[in-house]
Structure 1
Amino acid sequence: MSATAGPTEGQRTLASRLGMQPGQVVQELGYDDDCDAELRASIEEVTGNALVGEDPDDVVDVVVMWWREDDGDLVDALVDALTDLADGGVVWLLSPKTGRSGHVEPSDIGDAAPTAGLSATSSISASREWQGTRLVAPKASRK
C-alpha cells in the first residue's frame, strides 16, 4: 500500500533542488514551450500554489526565470525580475544546459548578476535540459 496524497518522490526531488517550500509564492518569467513541464508541476505541487505570471497581486518569495541566449539583455531582465521579489527572496535563473539550443555561458551570468545587484550563490542541475543558478541580493553592509 502506498499513500498518494502530496507530491511524488520525483516532484519533491525537483522542487527541493530549488529549495521550494510549502506556502511560497513563485513568479515565473520567460515561459515558453521549451520549459520543463515536470519541474513546473513540481514547484506548484510542493508550494501548494500556482505559478504567477508577470503581474502578481503581491510580492513573491521566489522568481523562476527561464532564460535563453537570444532572449535579450540579461541585466535588464534580472533587474525587472526584482520588481515583485520580497526582501530576502531568491531568483532562480534557469538556462539550457551546455550543448542545448539557447545555452547561456556561465560567465555571461557571472557578469550580469552583479550589474543587476545580485550575487550567484550556487548552480545546480534543475532538470534534464535546464541548469539553475541561484541569485540573491547581497546583504546590506553593516556600519
Structure 2
Amino acid sequence: MVDASEATVDKGTDWAAMMDIVKGQVVQELGWDEDADSSISEALENELGDPLLDEETDEVVDAVLLWWRDDDGDLIDGLVDAGRNLGDDGSIWLLTPAAGTAGTVDPGEIAESAQVAGMVQTRSTRLGGWQGACLVAGGNKR
C-alpha cells in the first residue's frame, strides 16, 4: 500500500473552493498528523487569512477539517467530538486516505458512522491523496 502522504498532490489546486471554504469563516482542524496533506491546510489558511483552530478551541466554527485513518479509533465518536463546536449550518470535512493507501476507511463505515452520529454525507471528492466526505447535521442539505 502507498502512504497517503506520498501521493502526488497538485499544488495549484484550489482546495478551499473545492470545499466551499470562504474568507470570513472559522475552521477547526482535528486529527492532523505527519501523513496529512499540509497543502490542503495551508490553502484553507490562505483563503481564510487566519490560522485553522485546533482541538483546544471553544469557539463556534463554520467547518471542521477532520483527518481520519482506519486505526484512529471509533469513527462515530470522532464525528460526535468533531461536531461539538460546529455551528448550526456547519459542515465536517472528513478526510480519509484514498483507496489503496495505508489507513483507508471503508465508504460503508463512513456512511454508517455519519448516520449514527446524526449526520448525512452531502458529497464526496478526491483531495490529493485523501478522500473528502462533506458531512452536515441530519436536517441540513448544504
Query: Normalized against structure 2, the TM-score is what?
Result: 0.88
Distance 2:105 2:138 in 1: 23
Choose 42-51 or 52-61, whichever is displaced more: 52-61
Q: Which runs of 4+ in 1 moved over 3 A?
A: none
Q: Larger Cα Rg: Structure 1 or Structure 2?
A: 1
- Which one has more relative contact order, counting CA pairs under 8 Å at least 6 apart? 2
Match in the other structure for 2:17:
16
1:10 counterpart SS class: coil
The answer for unaligned runs of 5 or more in structure 1 is 1-8
Match in the other structure for 2:94:
93
Match in the other structure for 2:137:
137
Kept in 1, the 8 Å contact 2:76–2:114? The answer is yes
Match in the other structure for 1:107:
108
* C-alpha deviation, 1:48, in angstroms: 1.3
1:51-76 Cα shifts (integer Å, max 9, x gaps): 11002141011000000000000000
Distance 2:65 2:58 in 1: 17
* C-alpha deviation, 1:123, in angstroms: 0.3
For residues 1-143 of structure 1, the aligned pairs below 5 Å read 10=12, 13-127=14-128, 129-139=129-139
Alignment length (residue pairs)? 130
Identity, % of aligned pairs?
Answer: 45
Distance 2:113 2:139 in 1: 18
Distance 1:83 1:32 in 2: 21
Distance 2:112 2:67 in 1: 18
The answer for unaligned runs of 5 or more in structure 2 is 1-10
* C-alpha deviation, 1:10, in angstroms: 2.2
Distance 1:96 1:113 in 2: 17
Kept in 1, the 8 Å contact 2:62–2:86? The answer is yes
Choose 69-78 or 54-63, whichever is displaced more: 54-63
